[in-house]
Amino acid sequence: MNISSGAVILAAGRGERMGCSKALLPWGDRTLLEAWVARFREAGVERIVAVVGNDGDAIEAAVSDDLGILWARNPEPDTTGPRESLLLGLDLLPADTRVWFTPVDTPVVNGAVLRRMRRAWVRAADADPEGPGPLVAMPSYRRQSGHPALAGTSFIAHLYEGERGDRIDAVLSWATRRQVIVEVDDVRVVGNMNRPRDYEAFAPPPGEAWDWAEEAAPPADAGDATLDLGTTNPAINAAGIAGATDEFDAPEPE
């Protein structure tokens, strides 16, 4: 079952607290943006959009054309939020499809996280074949929701129906019973790299190759998913749907 044909990486923020463009931070033997592209490619995603802002020219120049990234530019990154950037990315992807999305400053998660989310989505859809399907799937670490998210067509439609300045998480408030929450043993899903110390806590050694296939998978007994039958997770914050941990600040607005 092909449940995803696209991904959007949100990279329009200025990174003031980091002191540089987060998209170009070293991540092993590549940049952080390139690492996220590699992770989505590994998951079988063909169309990947990076949404950039004022430093878009520098980011595009630093990334190889061979990666096949589609570029979207947010012309007003200082006065708009993640929702507006996400819509700009969605405009470059086929309609009526399911789409992964993540802020670029989320640490690149284990590939097993995406695989577990895909399986959970399929199970939820198969459990109610006559229904509208899941609204969104989100990874969760110790009951805090994070990224990347897998958005369904209903989620995307409601994003487009919103107004300028709306929060992404507001879309979730009307459909708490259609959220697929996937518990994982990967703290990176709730990590937010706003400042140098946050980045240093997560980043692999600069210049060293990251062997994606050798990353440890979450334990098999962690469980695949639960359907959220309560209210929207209170940990959801301004970056969209990433819950902050005790060790890391909530992400700065894009």
Measured distance CA(89)–CA(70) in Å, rounded: 9
Amino acid 174: pLDDT: 66
Per DSSP, the residues of 144-171 read: EE-S-EEE-HHHHHHHHHS-TT--GGGG
Q: What number of other Cβ atoms are within 10 A of residue 179's Cβ?
A: 24
pLDDT at 21: 87
What is the β-pairing status of strands 136-141 and 179-183? parallel
Of 147-161, 219-233, 236-250, the one with minimum mean pLDDT is: 236-250
**With pLDDT > 90 as the criterion, what percentage of the chain qualifies?**
52
Cα-based distances in Å from 7 to 78, 170, 190: 23, 21, 19
Q: What is the pLDDT of residues 144-176, one digit of tens each?
A: 999 999 999 989 998 898 788 788 877 777 667
End-to-end CA distance of the chain: 34
State the residue for tokens 């802020």.
103
Lowest mean pLDDT among 9-13, 131-135, 166-170, 211-215: 211-215
Alpha-carbon distance of 241 to 247, in angstroms, equals 18
Is the pLDDT at 19 greater than 80? The verdict is no
Q: With cut-offs at 50, 70 and 90, classify the pLDDT of residue 101.
A: very high
In the predicted model, is pLDDT for residue 234 greater than 70? no
At residue 246 the predicted structure's pLDDT band, cuts being 50, 70 and 90, is very low
pLDDT above 80 for 62: yes
Q: Are 119 and 100 in contact (CB under 8 A)?
A: no
Catalogue all structural domains in the chain, each as residue range(s) with its CATH number: 6-228 (3.90.550.10)
Residue 214's pLDDT is 43
Q: What is the mean pLDDT of residues 20-29?
A: 90
Q: Which two tokens stand for residue 27?
A: 């991540």
What is the pLDDT confidence band of residue 4, given thresholds at 50, 70 and 90? low
User: Quick check: helix, strand or coil at residue 72?
Assistant: strand
pTM of the model: 0.82
pLDDT of amino acid 210:
65
pLDDT of residue 11: 94
pLDDT digits 0-9 by tens, 105-123: 999 999 999 999 999 999 9
Rounded to an integer, the average pLDDT of 223-251 is: 32
Statement: residue 233 has pLDDT above 60 = no
- Arithmetic mean of pLDDT over the chain: 80
Q: Over 70: is that where the pLDDT of 206 sits? A: yes
Backbone angles phi, psi at 248, to 5 degrees: -130, 145
